[in-house]
């Protein structure tokens, strides 16, 4: 059994997901791409039967939610017609929901969201946060489904040209706050909302790390946070070989699991991943770690709790100051011009 420590935003009530609200740990969302051109697994699960089988496999590995998408949002991708997107996702959603899975639909279109919810989806995962389709807020409000609103500055063909920030953490937080207000005006209830910082979307590689390191800034908005770092380009560049060639997508899965653990410790509501088992284990480790850190350290009977040695405390403080000051050749996250790659190649 996984020990639990309450977190105010991670464990907040999410409308439409009573069994996944307040469970005391970070959830795991498994990706089911029903596309021929997604960056890491395009075409593998393109047939409905293969996509359903893959979804069931992810459930067996510990996925709490299955995110079904029929349109790639990788940089430079071209949009597919709405009827084609519907033909891809609806049969898969229907069959997975019939098997008892909690299903999310990954779409920016209100009409697709409405049809998907009618087919059994309980979450709408919109990478545009309602900006791509002005009808999305109304559709989500009427459906009562949970809604993931991601930070977004434009479609895949233009987003890499829109990655200038004064302060990436503050700017993303404030732009998400604006989306929350607009969605509220459309009738979306606060309890429906989940926020996503949009790693890799209009964010060059170095800009993704401060967002991960400062999830607490997003928690200030009072709603659960979803982290989608799986296999993205900034991990490929981090893991580049000595010649500077980025690690291929599947070689980024171990790093993805590490981010799942760290995000869980930081209070993420959910991590969205392509391979589930390692991240499902990682969030359990994070929950046990947090539970052990919550109270006094356990020692022999009658012994007093210990505090961190002064030398260790000083080392941690020095390391933090060095990062902020940009020492040792590290870029400061406040400087959006300090970029080393082109971002996150999402979905």
Q: Which fold has domain 18-294+310-329?
A: TIM Barrel (3.20.20)
Pair type for strands 270-273 and 226-227: parallel
- Of 115, 179, 272, 284, the active-site residue reads 272
Q: What is the reported pLDDT for 147?
A: 98
Q: What is the reported pLDDT for 2?
A: 65
Q: What is the reported pLDDT for 238?
A: 95
Q: Please report where in the chains the tokens 């979804």 appear, as a residue.
A: 55
Q: Cα–Cα distance between 94 and 90 in angstroms, integer?
A: 6
Neighbours of 340 (CB within 10 A): 12
Q: What is the reported pLDDT for 6?
A: 82
Is 284 marked active-site?
no
Would you call 148 helix, strand, or coil by DSSP? strand
Q: What is the reported pLDDT for 72?
A: 81
Q: What is the reported pLDDT for 1?
A: 66
Maximum distance among all Cα pairs of the chain, rounded to whole angstroms: 69
Name the DSSP letter for residue 225: B
Is 232 marked active-site?
yes
Q: Do 17 and 146 contact (CB within 8 A), yes or no?
A: yes
- Of 10, 122, 173, 232, the active-site residue reads 232
Which residues of the chain, if any, have pLDDT below 50? 296, 305-347
């Amino acid at each position: 059994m996984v020990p639990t420590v309450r977190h105010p935003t991670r464990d907040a009530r999410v409308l439409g997901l009573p069994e996944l609200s307040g469970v005391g740990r970070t959830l795991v969302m498994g990706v089911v791409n029903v596309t021929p051109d997604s960056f890491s697994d395009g075409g593998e699960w393109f047939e409905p039967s293969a996509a359903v089988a893959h979804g069931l496999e992810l459930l067996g590995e510990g996925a709490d939610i299955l995110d079904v998408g029929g349109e790639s949002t990788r940089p430079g991708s071209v949009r597919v017609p709405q009827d084609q997107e519907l033909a891809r996702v609806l049969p898969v959603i229907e069959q997975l929901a019939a098997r008892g899975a909690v299903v999310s639909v990954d779409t920016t279109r209100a009409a697709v969201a409405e049809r998907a919810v009618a087919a059994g989806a309980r979450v709408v995962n919109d990478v545009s946060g309602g900006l791509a389709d002005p009808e999305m807020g109304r559709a989500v409000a009427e459906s009562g489904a949970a809604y993931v609103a991601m930070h977004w500055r434009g479609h895949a063909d233009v987003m890499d040209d829109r990655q200038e920030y004064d302060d990436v953490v503050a700017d993303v937080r404030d732009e998400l706050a604006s989306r929350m207000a607009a969605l509220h005006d459309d009738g979306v209830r606060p309890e429906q909302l989940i926020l996503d910082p949009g790693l890799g979307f209009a964010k060059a590689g170095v800009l993704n790390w401060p967002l991960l390191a400062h999830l607490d800034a997003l928690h200030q908005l009072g709603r659960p946070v979803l982290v989608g770092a799986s296999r993205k380009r900034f991990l490929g560049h981090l893991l580049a070989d000595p010649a500077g060639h980025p690690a291929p997508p599947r070689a980024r899965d171990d790093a993805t699991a590490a981010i799942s653990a760290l995000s869980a410790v930081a209070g993420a509501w959910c991590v969205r991943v392509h391979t589930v088992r390692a991240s499902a284990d990682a969030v359990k480790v994070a929950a046990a770690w947090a539970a052990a850190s919550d109270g006094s350290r356990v020692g022999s009977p009658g012994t007093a709790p210990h505090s961190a040695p002064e030398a260790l405390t000083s080392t941690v403080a020095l390391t933090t100051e060095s990062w902020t000051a940009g020492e040792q050749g590290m870029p400061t996250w406040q400087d959006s011009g300090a970029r080393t790659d082109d971002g996150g190649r999402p979905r």
